[in-house]
Amino acid sequence: MFIITYQSVQTLLPKLYTMKSITIKGSKRESVGKVATKALRNAGRVPCVVYGGDNPLHFSAPELDFSKLVYTPNAHTVEISMEEDDTKINAILQDIQFHPVSDSILHIDFYQLFDDREVSINIPVKIEGAAPGVLNSGGTLILNKRKLKIKAIPSNLPDDITIDISNLELGNKVYTADLKNEKYTLQHSDNMVVCQVKISRASLVEEEIVDEEVAEGAEGPESPESKGKETPGEANTKTEK
């Protein structure tokens, strides 16, 4: 039996989304050409686009403002606040482009959230507890999937999917089918392994050594009388020579 917990933290958004939120203050872009885009990047700002609404919204924001959104394993929703008219849009990060050399952020795409419209997003997997298969049997815990893609309305988006492995014995696996939740849909096949306890190489080597010792013990020690004596097969071989 594996215990799957649904973690949620309410945030002070207009519609109270359960996933943690980060606020980005942006400015609408008057021009979206190459020259204007280059000027924004030189000024330390990131050109962005919000899709999903009636029309795409082009804006820019300081690159440093995205650090808590981009450089983290956690999933967040984003509240984009326009400086010009106080417009606020709830969204999720959809795509991001980095510079191949400097690794600076070149462009970010967001997808606008609506209360009654489902969205797809990757949610981090977190492990809780200690597996008996690791503590008592010398196994190794393998986390096959660090993130799972789910589909849900914004109010049901969790911060993470936590798996309690307190009952995970050696050879046990947790499948996607074990993680089903009424609040969201997992967009993976039911037989996909999320985590498991596998026998470690050290345990395999130790088992092989024990097997060899058992086999030698079954043959029994060599008697003093047999030492130096030829077996009938050895005598025949020498005779034929």
pLDDT at position 151 is 96
Task: For residue 231, tell me if it sits in a domain.
Answer: no
pLDDT at position 232 is 47
Task: Tell me the average pLDDT of the chain.
Answer: 82
Task: For residue 220, tell me if it sits in a domain.
Answer: no
Whether residue 165 is predicted with pLDDT greater than 60 in this model: the reply is yes
Band of pLDDT at residue 179, cut at 50, 70 and 90: very high
pLDDT at position 96 is 95
- Work out the burial of residue 113: count CB atoms within 10 Å of its CB; fewer than 13 is exposed, 13-18 middle, 19 or more buried: buried
**8 A C-beta contact, residue 161 and residue 126:** yes
Amino acid letter at 141?
L
Task: For residue 140, tell me if it sits in a domain.
Answer: yes
Band of pLDDT at residue 7, cut at 50, 70 and 90: very low
Residue 87 has a CB neighbour count (10 Å cut-off) of: 13
What CATH number is given to the structural domain containing 38?
A: 2.40.240.10
- Please check whether residues 154 and 108 belong to one and the same domain: no
Render pLDDT for 117-131 as a digit per residue (tens, 0 to 9).
999 999 999 999 999
Whether residue 218 is predicted with pLDDT greater than 50 in this model: the reply is yes
Render pLDDT for 221-239 as a digit per residue (tens, 0 to 9).
555 554 555 544 444 444 4
pLDDT at position 11 is 28
Nearest-angstrom CA–CA distance, 41 and 23: 20
Task: For residue 225, tell me if it sits in a domain.
Answer: no
The domain of 23 spans: 18-112
Tokens at residue 165, please?
A: 């492995």
Which residue is it, tokens 């417009």? 87
Tokens at residue 100, please?
A: 């191949």
pLDDT at position 73 is 84
Contacts of 58 (CB under 8 A, 6+ apart): 28, 29, 32, 47, 48, 49
Higher pLDDT, 220 or 5: 220
Whether residue 211 is predicted with pLDDT greater than 70 in this model: the reply is no
**CA neighbours within 13 Å on the CB side: how many for 34?**
0
**8 A C-beta contact, residue 125 and residue 2:** no
- Please check whether residues 75 and 99 belong to one and the same domain: yes
Nearest-angstrom CA–CA distance, 110 and 95: 7
Nearest-angstrom CA–CA distance, 70 and 77: 12
Amino acid letter at 2?
F
Q: For 169-192, what is the mean pLDDT?
A: 94
What is the chain's percent helix, strand, coil content, to nearest 5?
25, 40, 40
Q: For 39-47, what is the mean pLDDT?
A: 94
Residue 72 has a CB neighbour count (10 Å cut-off) of: 11
Q: Name the domain count of the chain.
A: 2
**8 A C-beta contact, residue 167 and residue 1:** yes
Task: For residue 125, tell me if it sits in a domain.
Answer: yes
pLDDT at position 124 is 94
- Please check whether residues 67 and 148 belong to one and the same domain: no
**8 A C-beta contact, residue 163 and residue 4:** yes
- Please check whether residues 140 and 168 belong to one and the same domain: yes
Q: For 141-169, what is the mean pLDDT?
A: 94
Task: For residue 208, tell me if it sits in a domain.
Answer: no
- Please check whether residues 81 and 145 belong to one and the same domain: no
Q: Residue 214 in 3-state DSSP?
A: helix
pTM higher than 0.75: no
